[in-house]
Structure 1
């Protein structure tokens, strides 16, 4: 395995975190992250942000808000806004 360097690790970080790169590149980036504190910190921030956004996307709006939004949409569609 070869340390891919900071530039490649940062450029391919999102794909790495989503396991969307080939196993060789994945191993190279993993090795780099193990030995580069700055890139390791950046990966931690990216991973945390990705998890927070994913969690937020699973949340549902309160029923009262959903009802208000649908009522407003019906008004706009009916042309009575």
Structure 2
């Protein structure tokens, strides 16, 4: 493993927190975060913000809208 540096760790932080990067990059960023208090702080803020947004976004579409979307998807799939 190699320390990816603050700039790269911060640039890829959101993807890292959502597990949307390859395992090698994930390992490099994890290693950097373990050894960099400034980036640890930034990761903590980003993680806290992401969790707050996720908690606030538990709304569901009305049942009728959901059924209309599913029906339309089935029509499109049947046409192909």
Aligned residue pairs, count: 60
- Where do 5+ consecutive residues of structure 1 fail to align? 61-81
1:7 aligns with 2:7: yes
Runs of 4+ with >2 A deviation:
none
- Once the two structures are superposed, the pairs formed by residues 23-38 of structure 1 within 5 Å of their partners are 23-38=23-38
Displacement of 1:59 in angstroms is 5.3
Cα RMSD, aligned residues only: 1.1
How high is the TM-score relative to the length of structure 2?
Answer: 0.72
- Where do 5+ consecutive residues of structure 2 fail to align? 61-80
How high is the TM-score relative to the length of structure 1?
Answer: 0.71
